[in-house]
Chain A
């Protein structure tokens, strides 16, 4: 275990290379374009616009949003961390299946999650119908805070789960073994070594969860829980009050900045570095013994509630033919479009975040930290705010840019680049800067030292980041609707078409296809690659 205070103080001889600074600046500024636009909009607000954003109402929205974000982060940690530990570090029966099944809810768009949960658990929903013979004639409401909490936990706990799994696999078992050899018991090792070594992963995971909650519209609007995002939508859509919406959006950005700050504080306390690329060897597997029954019950109920139940509702809906369009065919072209757009976004995202992440990791100055936060901040914006900012800017640039695939991909990047940034940062944080220094002292040039020594250690983080970007992009809706080239259908737009009429039978095939596309990716990510990367070369 190495605690390295020295790295927070950049030595004068180690000025950040100019190309790196320039690259990071370009990326961060591009990512914060929508925010710059919102600032301009907000500044042009007149008294009647400001009247639509009263202090009291804004305060209520901020507290409501913060309370929901805290609740969802807590729930996601409570579900995701034990699940990850059981799947990675124990002999839980069926752990590979659980590993895959636990990651899959990530691709269920939150409004589908909310619809399915409502369909199943509403006072007179499918569950109540199933229980009717037992004399249950209504279930408690799941609207409001608890409904939103449930739906958002479904959509976000996989972030914690995936990052915690990656963290557990990447963690250096030598620290745990040393602790054991010094006489610490299993539980003590878990609390004092394993969990603290997961700090960067958990901080990154919680950050993604919190930012997701801040930007979500689908789940909170269906569950009837007011947040800053629903407030922004109301002002845009009911009144075309763009200035009032911009003011609220900036309040949301400020809230996100607080979240980013909290996460980075938490991340760096008591850093534990690894000594080898990946795990030198797999960590010891804990035998659960008779504890495997409660463990199995826990994993099954998570997968049952968050995957089987919503998919079951979707299948139930899809069994019935769409009364308007007839039985919905499978949207192959939309599926291909979704997959290609998401893959392109994922690849570009991991590449462009590298300068920002490396700069912030290696040269932690005020500038590099600011650039990193700038790049993270737009992820809290609801999709509609990013989309409309780019509608404004795109329409002015005009020509072939506006409503082109390139602009749509740019919107995806702005929205989801933080996912790549956060998980690349998390894996960089586990790399001791000493390694790079050693390579430099052995004569490597800075770029070469980074490429040959540092990047290999962050592979799993970059891959996890790419996967998160892919899985988020593939279900993106608001920016897709406004910025896609005309006629460019994605699975998300197909799903939207169906829900807007309340004819859910049309929704289910596309939603199931989303899950089908994501499944192999999640599988490769959570198992094959991790083992390959983790195995000694």
Chain B
């Protein structure tokens, strides 16, 4: 039987290969290595990881996936997690993971490296960079003077069929959660209904919103400020710019990417060293000004990307990011109820 022979040989080879590879995986982890779950994109942060290893001799095993997927994995793994550090794009997922007791309390001096609005009183996580919610607009059809002064203004008839949002995006949901906390659910519900009446276009993520504005499919979109720079890097002549609403507007909410130490870790000292490294001048500068990067550095004395509006001039709403773990659920429930997400 020719076929069964071939299959038999291949099967034996497979089993042998499995034995070899799983053997390799069992090699005892060195005391000088850390496992990082990174929701930050490999192409943006790999140089930071490499530099850390070069400076400290600590090897890094990095699992790259989306921040939210990694958060789910951390919850499923519970106390058996192989991860030592969770570096996330989203304060919301950090909050949810922290609220389940899966992140350790950080030392005060680590948290003290950044302004207090980029950490939480419980010190489960600390910000590594700042990002602001903005309105992107099509510069071919609009000028800043013609744009709404508040995010509430997007329900005006002028914007019918011309707005793009990404309702499944965690930052959009964080903005809604904060706004519900600040202005009440009824007002946010009316606003979301108003957007629906205005034929708002839904996109799968921020990047596609910016691209849709660039193509002229919609005129304005609600996103985070740095997506514009990601897309500009790919398409330099993109006719799109960022717009901030008036001072204190919920549409200017400033969010953070952040890091936490996983409760299950047995390498607390090395993990803390990694967190401190992310606040080093070098790493902060890289996060803020590396290729394709445009986020705000959070440590004093590190310059932002040239051409970017100063973080201190962005007047967002007064909101404690530590509340997000509680405020996200009503926001998502509202989106589900109104059919934005299903």
Residues of A within 8 A of B (CB): 51-52, 54, 57, 60-61, 64, 122-125, 138, 221-222, 224, 226, 230-231, 233-234, 236-240, 242, 320, 323-325, 340, 343-344, 347-348, 350-351, 384, 388, 391-392, 395-396, 398-406, 409, 451-452, 455-456, 459, 462, 478, 481-482, 485-487, 493, 497, 500-506
Q: With A237-B69, A405-B22, A486-B61 given, is the CB distance from A344 to B233 under 8 Å?
A: no
Query: Within residues 201 to 238 of chain B, which ones have a CB less than 8 A from any CB in chain A?
Result: 202-204, 207-208, 210-212, 215-217, 227, 230-231, 233-234
C-alpha spacing A125/B214, complex, angstroms: 11
Asked whether, in the complex, the Cβ of A456 is within 8 Å of the Cβ of B215, the reply is: no
Return chain A residues, CB-CB under 8 Å to B66. Answer: 237, 500
A-B contact pairs, 6 of them (CB 8 A): A240-B72, A325-B43, A344-B17, A351-B7, A481-B69, A502-B231
B275 interface residue per 8 A CB criterion: no
Asked whether, in the complex, the Cβ of A323 is within 8 Å of the Cβ of B291, the reply is: yes
Q: Which of A122, A398, A400, A455 contacts B1 (CB under 8 A)? A: A455
B287 interface residue per 8 A CB criterion: no
Asked whether, in the complex, the Cβ of B69 is within 8 Å of the Cβ of A125, the reply is: no
B65 interface residue per 8 A CB criterion: yes
B55 interface residue per 8 A CB criterion: no
Return chain A residues, CB-CB under 8 Å to B7. Answer: 347, 350-351
B320 interface residue per 8 A CB criterion: no
B77 interface residue per 8 A CB criterion: yes
Q: With A404-B21, A405-B18, A455-B4 given, is the CB distance from A398 to B234 under 8 Å?
A: no
Asked whether, in the complex, the Cβ of A392 is within 8 Å of the Cβ of B77, the reply is: yes
Return chain B residues, CB-CB under 8 Å to A452. Answer: 1
Count contacts between A and B, CB distance < 8 Å. 189
Residue of A nearest to B231 (CB): A502
C-alpha spacing A344/B13, complex, angstroms: 9
Asked whether, in the complex, the Cβ of A497 is within 8 Å of the Cβ of B342, the reply is: no
C-alpha spacing A258/B144, complex, angstroms: 55
Q: With A392-B77, A400-B22, A403-B25 given, is the CB distance from A240 to B93 under 8 Å?
A: yes
Partner-contacting stretch, out of B189-197, B240-248, B301-309, B329-337? B329-337
Q: With A238-B68, A497-B42, A502-B207 given, is the CB distance from A485 to B25 under 8 Å?
A: yes
Q: With A395-B80, A497-B42, A502-B230 given, is the CB distance from A409 to B61 under 8 Å?
A: no
Return chain B residues, CB-CB under 8 Å to A485. Answer: 21, 25
Asked whether, in the complex, the Cβ of B73 is within 8 Å of the Cβ of A501, the reply is: no
Asked whether, in the complex, the Cβ of A57 is within 8 Å of the Cβ of B342, the reply is: yes
Asked whether, in the complex, the Cβ of A391 is within 8 Å of the Cβ of B73, the reply is: yes
B199 to chain A, nearest CB (A): 12
Known: A57-B342, A395-B77, A502-B234. 6 other contacts (CB 8 A): A221-B168, A239-B332, A324-B291, A348-B11, A478-B69, A493-B64
> By DSSP majority rule, is chain A's interface helix, strand, loop, or mixed?
helix
Query: Within residues 110 to 128 of chain B, which ones have a CB less than 8 A from any CB in chain A?
Result: none
Q: With a 10 A CB-CB cut-off, give which of B17, B25, B77 has the most chain A CB atoms.
A: B25
Return chain A residues, CB-CB under 8 Å to B211. Answer: 502
C-alpha spacing A502/B235, complex, angstroms: 10
B3 interface residue per 8 A CB criterion: yes
> How many of chain B's residues touch chain A, expressed as a range?
35 or more
C-alpha spacing A486/B96, complex, angstroms: 25
Asked whether, in the complex, the Cβ of A501 is within 8 Å of the Cβ of B41, the reply is: yes
B81 interface residue per 8 A CB criterion: yes
Q: With A325-B43, A405-B22 given, is the CB distance from A505 to B342 under 8 Å?
A: no
Query: Within residues 1 to 54 of chain B, which ones have a CB less than 8 A from any CB in chain A?
Result: 1, 3-4, 7, 10-11, 14, 17-18, 21-22, 25-26, 35, 41-44
Asked whether, in the complex, the Cβ of B62 is within 8 Å of the Cβ of A486, the reply is: yes
B153 interface residue per 8 A CB criterion: no
C-alpha spacing A320/B233, complex, angstroms: 11
B263 interface residue per 8 A CB criterion: no
A51 to chain B, nearest CB (A): 8
Asked whether, in the complex, the Cβ of B68 is within 8 Å of the Cβ of A497, the reply is: no
Return chain B residues, CB-CB under 8 Å to A388. Answer: 72-73, 76
Q: With A224-B202, A324-B44, A486-B62 given, is the CB distance from A451 to B332 under 8 Å?
A: no
A117 to chain B, nearest CB (A): 13
C-alpha spacing A244/B316, complex, angstroms: 33
C-alpha spacing A35/B19, complex, angstroms: 27
Return chain A residues, CB-CB under 8 Å to B41. Answer: 497, 500-501
Residue of B nearest to A54 (CB): B336
Asked whether, in the complex, the Cβ of A451 is within 8 Å of the Cβ of B4, the reply is: yes
Residue of B nearest to A408 (CB): B21
Residue of B nearest to A478 (CB): B69
Q: Which of A138, A406, A503 contacts B18 (CB under 8 A)? A: A406
